[in-house]
Structure 1
Amino acid sequence: MDFDIRKIQTAVQGGPESDEPLICPTDPDELDAFLLEHPDKSFWCGELLGGCGGKLTTRRFGTRLRVCHFAHLPGQGGLRPQCGYRDRGLSSADHLYVKTATLGWLREQGHTPRYHFIDRDDVPIGSLVDVYLNDRKLRFHMNAQVPPDWDAPDAGEPILGPGVRIPADLLEQRRYVNRVKFTTDGHRRILVLGTEVFGESTEWDIALEDCEITEDGRLKTPVVDRIWNTESRKPAPAPAPAAAPLTQPTAPPDTGTHPAGVQIGGLVHNITAAVRRKDVPRVRQLCKEADQEMSRCEGPALRHLETAAENARLWLEARDHEHRALFTRLEQAVADGKGWHARTLLDQAKKLVTHVEPLTGHDEKTVAAAWKLLARPPVRPAPAPVVTPFAPQTVDSREQEQRRTRRLAHTKARSLIGRLRAKGLPAQERRELLTELTPVAEAAGDWLSTRDRRDVQNWLKQAEKQAHVPELHEARKPPSKAVASAAQAVRGALKKAAREQRTTTWKQLEQQLGSALPHMSIADRIHVLILVDEATPPDHALLASLVVATDPQIREHYREIAAAQNLEAPENRDELRDVIDADVQQVFSTWSR
């Protein structure tokens, strides 16, 4: 299976069968607060969401990821599980938020509600939510593609979700119908009630606290109460099938308009055009209009509007994050007195703020401080000392070079030690690893832990007892021409994979390249992958990540591959996986162009 590029925004907590929904914040700062609220990090691709039941983790926003999101944890062999969960947007868990939002409210009224999330072949999970109140029932219709069966004996009190239509003649007979939708507040979904009245528009923003369930199981909102008081009677029961054959209502053709005459196609066009112009205030306004119109349209019009609004919100989040990050860097440059850096950031800020709302007071202070810094007379740097081939290095430069050498040696030694601790390691590979480890362990010195140094000494003593010492000091590497030739072939194959937006494994490379890539030990494979990226520009991700992402055996050596290119990789496995995933995305982005 190739690299998992699904951006999942909803999950459940506690286990795969849970009905407690979660939304992953798209902003890194909000994600930090979210993780503090959920320290157990028990996130699941819930079965009640239509997911596979697998465990999820969070992926953090970075230079290569547009937004923070949930992602499947790799299973055995490091591969991501197959999952048919495709509806991953903010609204995909709204049927579960029905319970979250109404449970406490119903209990306060003395009810003991039972929730049933209907899942049938003809009714996908999440389409209908039945709330049983003793012998009465509320039915939430959350899917516009599953029209209500108004004549069903167990239909209960209907509450219609976004895009779920009611025929005009039926609405006239019933006089009203209650509606529900959800809005996003940070990483929470907020239930909003409304009542649609025949001949009038839908009145929204009705608080649950202002509503009640009557003795006969009906939802009474303030609007419903007004209708009942005006007519001095409660709504008439639904007509019998013989009087009004509404078993399979036929919806009018989807013209992209709702009864009030608003052109949904025009609204979608305006949203897209505002994003293209980078008109942030206009985009925010149009997204609010889209929320108001979603309950009044259905079919392709609803899908187009939801897609346009969701893309616009993602764009707004990315712009907001870019704005915050830019001014944070500018503030730091001012604090460090780096005038040249501040000038560059000010130029970027000029381009950015022309498309956003007015600056905050804090941002204005940052800009003023930056201009004040640039107004200072430049400080002429002291002339650099003349260095001759025989001139000793300064103490600072020597220490920096020594620390850099030890850091790289420590990174490589830790990678080799981890490989040597693996069970069932072939003797030949163990000897090769010890040969590589000896000099780097000496260079790392006391940067290695006591346990690491003890294990290295024990391995070397054991090798001496087995009389393999001569072999340990022989560099058993293939001829340089063979390695260079294999690296060239692998680099070409990885470039092709990058253009095709896919990952690969070493076994697949062997099958693809044939005799151009002979069978090699793990040490030789790592050597080849290091050579592959010698020509990779410093600001580009490593092509080797396309193999590392899906080949568990090679993934254990990614720190060594990165260290050879003067790059550092985290020790933590989860953080390392995030880095590898981000590198794969950057490789895809680079080579797609």
Structure 2
Amino acid sequence: MRFDDRPGGGRIMLFGTEIHGRGTGNWDALDDIILTPKGLVSPTAEADARPPAPAPPPSPAPDGREIVTITRRTAPDPRRDDPVHELLRHLDVDNDTPGKITAAVARIRTLLETDLHPDDANRLRFALARCQRRMEEHTRRRQNVMQQLRQKPTVGLYHLAVELMRDDPDISQEERDLIDALAARMERLHAERHAEEERKRQEAEQERREGWRRQEARRAETARRASEEERAERAAVAEQAAIEQARQARAEKVKALALAVRGALKKAARENRLTTWSELRDKIGLRQLGHLDREDKLALLALVEADTAPGEPLWSALLVQDGDSAGLSLYRDICRLLGRPLPVDAPALADQLHTEHHRLHHPW
């Protein structure tokens, strides 16, 4: 690569290819260079015709020796053959079982009796001290748990003691006998606790099922009541509709009679007398009055009193005579239907009727 002066000022970068034995022939500008997977190539450069260098001949082996290719499998590993390194590499003082640590202590003491490098001996002594402290702590903890187990045995202490005695070569026969004696008792306590837990689980399951049944029963009862209320409401609506329909039918039935009955009652008032239903039938000449039942008569009187102003006496009072219980009952019903107040006791009601008769006979 070189830089040449550009006509008119400035410099231009040129690229060339050097050929063995001939130097650089052609120089190309950057715009003429082609980028290929093999790199930057000049289209005007000549190929290098130099043949590839031959492979060097194999070197002869020295007398009495053999050349061996070194691989990872054949290469020796000094650290793998080092017993101190192997021992410490597999030793986990904090997590190994007491049996493994005891075996490691014996191996360390054996190695310390051999001819070791001072550094290896120091490393083994340090590991030995750690192992001894670990075993002393483990022994103290085991003895403490065993003492508590003798005083107040529990399932938790029993299982902890069994765990501490696992793979421990320093267990005494007295400790083994204590664990063996408590084994049956702990099994019984464990079975009783398991049975108690199972009983509580079954009770909880039974309570859950009972709660679900009660909830379903309440839901069914609520649905039943809602259905009954709905049926009762529909029945009440239907009954009210039937009553209204019957009332309208009665009103239509007696509508044509209302004007004549009202006129007959006014005439009776002018003549200062009372009247009866049979007399109205005879005087008006309407035979339909003889076929009216009590509800028909009540509907007819309601039409007769439709134009009676509040506070004015009812024309229906002229149909009530002394000793006429049916007429008195009908008068009570028409007053109740029209919202007219009535005395409760019979003497007061009789006085009100006499007053009504007098007002109707003497309107002035």
Query: Structure 2 length normalisation: TM-score?
Result: 0.31
Higher helix share: 2
Query: Structure 1 length normalisation: TM-score?
Result: 0.19
Structure of larger gyration radius:
2
Higher strand share: 1
Q: Which has the higher contact order (CA 8 A, sep 6+)?
A: 1
